[in-house]
Amino acid sequence: MSRTRTIWIPLPDQDRFSEEQLRLCALDLVINRHYNDYALFFRTKHEDEGPAIIRAFRQALSATLGQCRHIAGTIQKNEHGDFSIITRSDSTVPLVLAWLDTNDQISSFDLLEDGSFHGASLGDPSRFTVPTMSMSSNASPSIQPHVAGFQLTFIRGGFIMTTCIHHFAMDVVGASSLIHHIAAHCHSVLHGTTPPTWHKSLVDRSRFIPRSLPDTMQERYPSAPANLEWKPCVSLLFSISRIKLAELKRLALPPTSAGTWISTYDAICALLWRIVLRHRMKIYRTDPASTAIFAESINMRQRVQPAMDKRYQGNLQCGALSTQQPHQYTVEQVTSKAPLHELAAYIRKITNSATESAVEATISRVSAVRDRSNLYFRQDTMPPTSLVVTDWRDVDMANADFGFGRPVAVRQLADKVVRNLVIIYPRRPWGKNGQDHGLEVVVPFEKHAVDILVDDPEMSRFFAFRGIDAQET
């Protein structure tokens, strides 16, 4: 990297208040405890666009901080025994500006696009994330971590905008809301359009904070140790075209119309669960009679009543697990015995089990714990027979119009691998030559056996391998 510069953006209205606290709720504290680093890739037409883009983004970020003060805050323990985002009048947000050398491995934006923007093509992901805000950074609330930071990295033919957000503050849907808000301010700065409005209800978590505590409380929530069976893994980027999606969905439909609705999502999950587990069963010499575990993270904004605003900037996800179902599948059933349509229907049942009562149960469970510092979900405690899916198809970051353009692609920058986490990325726009990107999926797999998955006949029939997206460092 040739040079970097860090600007600390202050609150524009710092004279109007001394301190603001936003108490986090149960759903914020049970989420993964790390930073999420969302990378948006932009193409530029001219090399001299950089200064105007920086000015507009800096002004837009300042305007956003005038409305969304929590973005400038830090996560700290409060008098309730849990945590709050605390913003003071002198709080600031880091904005890192970076320019890559012309002889860097990323020689041009075209090169990144031709490689489908897979993570390995970027090299070290820490070059594109704010220092101390990579996914592997210490994000414990004991160090009072910053909520957010931003970076613009310029390369020949484009730039990468990275939004780093502590997961306790918001999930991917909330991050998309924030990015759209900044984009609207950018558009206003550049084109004189009406700037976005803001309402504190978009961060109000009060309905998810228990009003009273139970008479008996646990001192600490029992934390399971990491599962030591796992072998080193990498995250692999695949794409599946619209034509192949339609073909896969037809295969996953039940033979008779029994009233079971199967979605594209159900079909993708069923196939990936079958293929990945089939190979991992051999790698780990798993007992075929053991229980196969499927889990997913469900956006609950429209599932709770009354529904929350779609732009709510918080965590409103519910974990749906196969272990909570009356019937559970064995490894043998998932890998060979059960037909694909049966697995797809089973996944639909798991998805539908994410209800408001499940959210209420989570809140009740958390309220019974006195020390809430270790409630966060750790996927590394799960066995190699598990697969967890997070679906970003409805996350519309790529539709954000900044006035200087819309993102060509969205990626999660990671310097560590969650060994059982599948990410279904937001759908990309059509490519520069009319290319159909279909859906892009990140699939974790054991590093020493990557070729086994890539060359699997079922996998290669539907999915095209695009490259390594993340590696363990």
Domain residues of the chain, as ranges? Answer: 3-207, 233-394+414-471
Say how far apart CA 351 and CA 240 lie, in whole Å.
Answer: 22
pTM comes to: 0.95
Residue 258 in this model has a pLDDT that exceeds 70: no
Residue 93 in this model has a pLDDT that exceeds 70: yes
Whether the domain at 3-207 and the domain at 233-394+414-471 fall into the same CATH topology:
yes
Beta-sheet strand order (sheet of 293-299): 317-321, 293-299, 386-391, 421-424, 439-446, 233-240, 464-471
- Between residues 22 and 364, the one the model is more confident about: 22
Q: CB-based burial of residue 135 (10 Å sphere; 0-12 exposed, 13-18 middle, 19+ buried)? A: buried
Confidence of residue 117 (pLDDT cuts 50, 70, 90): very high
Nearest alpha carbon to residue 239 among 463, 409, 433: 463
Buried b (16+ CB within 10 A) or exposed e, 26-46: bbbbbbbbbbbbbbbbbbbee
Confidence of residue 212 (pLDDT cuts 50, 70, 90): low
Contact 18/87 with Cβ under 8 angstroms? Answer: no
Say how far apart CA 11 and CA 335 lie, in whole Å.
Answer: 54
Confidence of residue 331 (pLDDT cuts 50, 70, 90): very high
Say how far apart CA 111 and CA 88 lie, in whole Å.
Answer: 43
pLDDT per residue over 379-418, tens digit each?
Answer: 889 999 999 999 998 899 989 999 999 999 999 999 999 9
Instruction: Taking residues 308-316, report their average pLDDT.
Output: 96
How much is the pLDDT for 279?
A: 98
Residue 103 in this model has a pLDDT that exceeds 70: no
Say how far apart CA 387 and CA 293 lie, in whole Å.
Answer: 6
Confidence of residue 428 (pLDDT cuts 50, 70, 90): confident
The two structure tokens encoding residue 58: 């800096």
399 φ/ψ angles, rounded to the nearest 5 degrees: -95, -5
- Between residues 114 and 84, the one the model is more confident about: 84
Q: CB-based burial of residue 11 (10 Å sphere; 0-12 exposed, 13-18 middle, 19+ buried)? A: buried
Say how far apart CA 156 and CA 159 lie, in whole Å.
Answer: 8
**How far does Cα 440 stand from its chain's mean position?**
14
- Between residues 112 and 429, the one the model is more confident about: 112
3-207 classified as CATH 3.30.559.10: yes
Contact 415/135 with Cβ under 8 angstroms? Answer: yes
How much is the pLDDT for 17?
A: 77
What residue has token string 């837009």? Answer: 60
Class of domain 233-394+414-471: alpha beta
How much is the pLDDT for 259?
A: 60
pLDDT per residue over 32-80, tens digit each?
Answer: 899 999 999 999 988 889 999 999 999 999 999 999 999 999 999 998 8
DSSP string, 21-84: EEE--HHHHTS--SEEEEEEEEE-SSGGGHHHHHHHHHHHHHHHHHH-GGGG-EEEE-TTSSEE
- Between residues 257 and 97, the one the model is more confident about: 97
Helices 340-352 and 242-252: crossing angle in degrees, nearest 10, is: 90
Say how far apart CA 457 and CA 373 lie, in whole Å.
Answer: 45
Q: What is the mean pLDDT of the chain?
A: 92
The DSSP element (H or E) to which 173 belongs, if any, is helix 172-191
Residues near 304 by Cβ (< 8 Å), separated by ≥ 6?
316, 356, 359
Fill in the amino acid letter for 288: P
The two structure tokens encoding residue 275: 């293929």
Residues near 437 by Cβ (< 8 Å), separated by ≥ 6?
116, 239, 427, 428, 429, 430, 431
Residue 163 in this model has a pLDDT that exceeds 90: yes
